[in-house]
Structure 1
């Protein structure tokens, strides 16, 4: 979808670079883990009015975004035909595209794919596991698990073809670029990648190299940024608004336009907990095959150039046990700042094209 409507002559370039345009990106529900009701803790009641699919659609439309990424099971009241029809109509009325989030590929995935297609989705984001922080444990077990996931994915291909869907496997702080590449090649053209921009850091890889290696297999992108905090064991990744962390977004947008120009882009700020990557501990490496240290150096160089000052506070409001209202405000403020940052970059790009 173009970032702004076509003019009378069919072009997509506005005459005034300051004209309000449709953004070339959307928003994923997991930007708001507390506000959507995904994040819960025993000592705090669940949010009484979680942000649901309808609220996320309203939010995307109000910010002139181009798409939404939703887990249907947790943002809709049910998956009845009438609810799915309403969702599709609401999206069409707002001129929004949809990426459906299903979670880990399991036995339920097969039944959810037709629902995703009925809702208007063409790309379905899935996960290989719930592993976080690159903590893969025993490598032999991980290898066997990947073999099992490979078979599950291949079995889904006929359903994906029947419903004209692409299954986009996320690098969810678990899989390496080589592993994702092998799964895509095994599954064929219906299998792609949801590229989380900063999650390569969780497996000791550099984000730009990760994106370039996966290239056209990238069908969906999670626009996320992290601030870096050094620890004796490695480094901690803490969520922040886009433009306030480790990623050069102008360069990343240019790279994605080069290698995956048709991919969906979604702000997905995600975790309310800092992710501790214990890359300096020998035990952490048990989950990985041997690697040439030169492959890790670009990652360490990037981290060293962006590490926060020692003693700088890193805990999020959620980790500080702040009231729910403060957590919700924190999520929304980071989303708003991220939208502003990306829109400013888009305006700069349009202005440059016109001069």
Structure 2
């Protein structure tokens, strides 16, 4: 499995053009870049620009993956630039992106259903808990939309790989893939997001493994709260994830392991598994996995008390200026050690 990085969380990405980002990633020893949008390579999908970026990546031995934006019709108004690209037609814009990516050999494309509302807190930060349109209706609309894209995806030999994002369970995502067809839709497995839905990362990896074609890789710190847990992001090997189990599950597919780091925060998210509204909204909740997360949180608290890892106060605090780079580099080293077949040593450098 190659080790790459997600473009949106790459240190200094906002100041880099795509070729500069690829070059910097290559110099760090990474083997690919997962651009969250193909429009990062060319905002107008200009074929010459796309070919130039692709050529630069090939010369450096770098794999490119990209994305096409959200596929939940109830979230697409939050991406007006995509609708504008299609002359007002969001679906047309996504077809243009699929075809533009395929023209330069990118056939694994990221997507997700919704955006996390960072300016809110609690359940309503997740579109799963919207009351204007319920979650089952959003899932049905997403499935129908993907079925409409499927002929174009098949014609281009391409997959839209929907992420195990903060709002969707692995069970629901597997059903979408199987209903639309795994020859058109796959999964981007985000190792950290499944915990936000109360799922064990190792168990979720095994559930989605047959359909995984891309990844977002980072570790998880879990902290107990009055109504459940709070999840924070930490470098690979410094949290609670059983990486041997996750990588063993993903090994047959051998996707690129794209490190998605941090920029402005460690992305603390509530996991209120004891909130009375939680269980009715998670009918497939596995109690054993919930209890596993609670036990992992207790073990993390023990390690924090012993000074091995950052405690809850540090995790909720500001990100240090050099922390995004250290997050990426620590994760890369840990993954290399894991892929070499040995256990990574725990870094005491906070990230």
Task: Give the Cα–Cα distance (whole angstroms) in 1 for the partners of residues 312 and 108 of structure 2.
Answer: 42
C-alpha contact (below 8 Å) 1:206/1:302 kept by paired residues: no
Counterpart for residue 19 of structure 1: none
Task: Give the Cα–Cα distance (whole angstroms) in 1 for the partners of residues 203 and 101 of structure 2.
Answer: 31
- Root-mean-square deviation (CA, aligned residues, Å) is 2.5
Candidates 27, 46, 51, aligned match of 2:16 = 51
User: Are residue 224 (structure 1) and residue 218 (structure 2) matched?
Assistant: yes
Shift of 1:96: 1.5
Shift of 1:77: 5.8
Are the structure 2 counterparts of residues 203 and 294 from structure 1 closer, same or farther at C-alpha, using a change threshold of 3 Å? same
User: Aligned runs of 1:136-175 on 2, under 5 Å?
Assistant: 136-137=128-129, 141-175=134-168
SS at 2:283 equivalent: coil
Are the structure 2 counterparts of residues 212 and 60 from structure 1 closer, same or farther at C-alpha, using a change threshold of 3 Å? same
User: Are residue 36 (structure 1) and residue 1 (structure 2) matched?
Assistant: no
Task: Give the Cα–Cα distance (whole angstroms) in 1 for the partners of residues 4 and 33 of structure 2.
Answer: 5
User: Aligned runs of 1:168-247 on 2, under 5 Å?
Assistant: 168-188=161-181, 189-247=183-241
User: Aligned runs of 1:110-149 on 2, under 5 Å?
Assistant: 110-131=95-116, 135=126, 136-137=128-129, 141-149=134-142
Are the structure 2 counterparts of residues 278 and 68 from structure 1 closer, same or farther at C-alpha, using a change threshold of 3 Å? same
1:94-116 CA deviation, whole Å, 9 max, x = no partner? 12111112221252322211112
SS at 2:165 equivalent: coil
1:17-46 CA deviation, whole Å, 9 max, x = no partner? xxxxxxx211111333x7333xxxxxxxxx
User: Are residue 293 (structure 1) and residue 287 (structure 2) matched?
Assistant: yes
SS at 2:166 equivalent: coil
C-alpha contact (below 8 Å) 1:137/1:286 kept by paired residues: no
Using the TM superposition, name which of 278-287 and 192-201 deviates more: 278-287
User: Aligned runs of 1:280-319 on 2, under 5 Å?
Assistant: 280-289=274-283, 291=285, 293-307=287-301, 308-309=304-305, 312-318=313-319
SS at 1:114 equivalent: helix
Q: What is the aligned length?
A: 304
Task: Give the Cα–Cα distance (whole angstroms) in 2 for the partners of residues 314 and 186 of structure 1.
Answer: 39
Task: Give the Cα–Cα distance (whole angstroms) in 1 for the partners of residues 164 and 129 of structure 2.
Answer: 17
Shift of 1:200: 1.0
1:196-244 CA deviation, whole Å, 9 max, x = no partner? 0121110011111111112210111111112222222322222221111
Task: Give the Cα–Cα distance (whole angstroms) in 2 for the partners of residues 287 and 266 of structure 1.
Answer: 30
Shift of 1:299: 3.0
C-alpha contact (below 8 Å) 1:237/1:276 kept by paired residues: yes
SS at 2:167 equivalent: coil
Task: Give the Cα–Cα distance (whole angstroms) in 2 for the partners of residues 290 and 87 of structure 1.
Answer: 43
Task: Give the Cα–Cα distance (whole angstroms) in 1 for the partners of residues 189 and 275 of structure 2.
Answer: 26
Task: Give the Cα–Cα distance (whole angstroms) in 1 for the partners of residues 167 and 27 of structure 2.
Answer: 34
Task: Give the Cα–Cα distance (whole angstroms) in 2 for the partners of residues 112 and 279 of structure 1.
Answer: 38
Are the structure 2 counterparts of residues 73 and 316 from structure 1 closer, same or farther at C-alpha, using a change threshold of 3 Å? farther
Counterpart for residue 279 of structure 1: 273
| TM-score computed with the length of structure 1 as normaliser | 0.78
Shift of 1:62: 1.3
User: Aligned runs of 1:8-27 on 2, under 5 Å?
Assistant: 24-27=2-5
SS at 1:282 equivalent: coil
Counterpart for residue 15 of structure 1: none
C-alpha contact (below 8 Å) 2:229/2:294 kept by paired residues: no
Shift of 1:142: 0.4
